[in-house]
Chains A and B, each alone.
Chain A
């Protein structure tokens, strides 16, 4: 599922050297952070809400098989088609198969991270089908030929000036920086695409098991057009994006919008129960629900199960100080930020995603912000533990921690090490400061000075002087 050819360190270097990212990202991140905090304050008892939302998600995931069965039964009862895709390839085959059967020439999409996960656009385009993203942010990155860099704000890394230039190129005339003019252009352009499209592909924020409904949360109205105008509607969902009933939906949608953008509720919340019925004035003739596993079921029953509770609000990205500086693309996968660092190695394996669990200072801001209480930073530690146990860490590091374990469990060895620290590191120090260290220490001293270990450690002082003064 790699979206980038560069290795992790190169992606980080590229991001850190990008002046536009540095300018664009913190601005929007601050706005989203502020929105979430305001929305939480309005609730008053946000911790109770988080606890309840977490229980709903945990319960649903623990009983995923039965809720999925209920969902599938009800979707079929309502006249929809259900397809299970065990892998990304299966999902592609199902969707390209429908496109072929319908002889589709064009597809319009509303925002879907699962569709990004299986790279459906590329596969449809390879068949000669025109694919148009209709979410404004997705439209921007499609024009830029990029991937989303944020779960809910895919073009968070772009500036208004960049958008103006891209839109002007498509328009064939110079557009201004005004939001209204830019969005008016996108609206006008996309309206034609909706009317022409043979198939509409949407995501699925939540599927309601009791009624077999797909619920879409959006602010631009594009999801409604995508799912009503074309003759065929395909909704793509991750197998975990399910709620038992509309009661739970109420709760989790509220947590989603409050945590994502700080809205009490999004501009549109659309529930789709079936294809067009005889009494309906509009709607697609056919409705297909593609349920994607792609590694998710392997997470069930593991220490990482809570990662499946995620409702894709992006709150963890918005509070993350690492994401703030490297942006979404540096993570390399479809999902970025803390949840991306947790999920991507689970879905794609350590071989390709070895470094991701280390792209965190373990500050815990993510876990604190998560509306469904996923212990994200603890899951990153869990990943590191698994990498160690699988023997994937460097030999020198293994030896260093072996030594650490030995020294810290043998006080006399430890005491000797502490005693020797000052003189042992003396050759590196000048005026009590180390400004260039070897090996692992070099990572520290590349950026900052390190004090030379004190001439007399605390424990030596205690033995000589400290102890005696205890009256």
Chain B
């Protein structure tokens, strides 16, 4: 099986290890991974801020970059949701591009979604002794309807004790430019998220979107708190691959 990795701009620039771990896990299941170098960003920062002309420029580039890929896997529920839900709409007045947008939308998978629904992984051989909780990012859980998938994967990891996160449906306060534009509101949101994480007693916070994790992790660090923040792929890879 062949897939192309869509790294996402955040993971490319700030968290390359997440990308390496995604590659590692996929390869451990015999998947052949390639990385089209012409990929950039999905355009969501521009789209959510109302700059749809610019978002279309980014989207066209991404559609072109993955034109020859049979499937695309990305370690972000948010970017996958952008492609799946908003790309076709972005090109509603350009039939040819709309068709190409739908084609990309149909072959794009979020990392856990790919593992559970395409690879049908049920036998993760990983051991990660930790007490952890999971952050359901909004675009992954609401946008893509993926809630059980990462939990199912993490549930197969030996010695990983998972706690339910209270108020798990509440946004962490990231929201892209919202975090910077409305930083005082965002601060209250992330502080409430951290308070809820602390009530679980978890040492590790696991998630599927580096935007949320950059927000929560950055606030945890600012507050001098010890909770480690990890992407699902990092847990699976560090836990010792299959």
Contact = CB atoms under 8 A, between A and B. Distances in A.
Contacts of B51: 385, 388, 401, 404-405
Contacts of A381: 47-48, 50
Given A363-B138, A408-B41, A461-B20, A451 B14 contact: yes
B147 interface: no
Interface stretch (A163-171, A228-236, A410-418): A410-418
Given A325-B189, A457-B13, A362 B218 contact: no
A447 B52 contact: no
Interface in A406-432: 406-411, 414-415, 418, 421
Interface residues of A, number: 69
B15 to A, nearest CB: 7
A449 B218 contact: yes
Given A458-B12, A463-B37, A361 B58 contact: no
B185 interface: yes
Interface in B216-234: 218-219, 221-222
Name, among B12, B55, B142, B189, the residue most crowded by chain A CB atoms within 10 Å (CB to CB). Answer: B12
A444 B158 CA distance: 36
Interface of B: 7, 11-16, 19-20, 23, 27, 32-35, 37-41, 43, 45-55, 57-58, 60-61, 65, 138-139, 142-143, 169-171, 173-190, 192, 214-215, 218-219, 221-222
22 contacts: A12-B185, A325-B192, A363-B142, A364-B142, A365-B142, A365-B170, A385-B52, A397-B49, A401-B49, A404-B58, A405-B55, A410-B61, A414-B41, A418-B12, A435-B222, A447-B187, A447-B190, A448-B215, A448-B218, A462-B19, A466-B23, A467-B34
Given A384-B49, A462-B35, A407 B181 contact: no
Nearest to B23: A466
Nearest to B51: A401
> B interface, by DSSP: helix, strand, loop or mixed?
helix
B64 to A, nearest CB: 9
A125 B12 CA distance: 62
Nearest to B44: A362
Nearest to A409: B57
A328 interface: no
Contacts of B169: 319, 365
- Dominant SS among interface residues on chain A: helix
A16 interface: yes
A23 interface: no
A418 B13 CA distance: 6
A431 to B, nearest CB: 11
B185 A359 contact: yes
B184 to A, nearest CB: 6
B189 A448 contact: no
A255 B136 CA distance: 27
A466 B34 CA distance: 9
Contact of B186 (A324, A361, A402, A442): A361
Nearest to A386: B50
Contacts of B142: 363-365, 367-368
Nearest to A414: B40
B87 to A, nearest CB: 14
A327 to B, nearest CB: 11
Nearest to B55: A405
Contact of B40 (A363, A364, A411): A411
A398 to B, nearest CB: 8
A439 to B, nearest CB: 9
Interface in A376-390: 381, 383-389
A404 B58 CA distance: 8
B40 A408 contact: yes
B154 to A, nearest CB: 22
Contact of A16 (B11, B58, B65, B184): B184
A319 B170 CA distance: 8
Given A325-B185, A421-B13, A448-B221, A362 B48 contact: yes
A287 B219 CA distance: 58
Contacts of B221: 433, 448-449
B173 A361 contact: yes
Given A381-B47, A458-B19, A404 B54 contact: yes
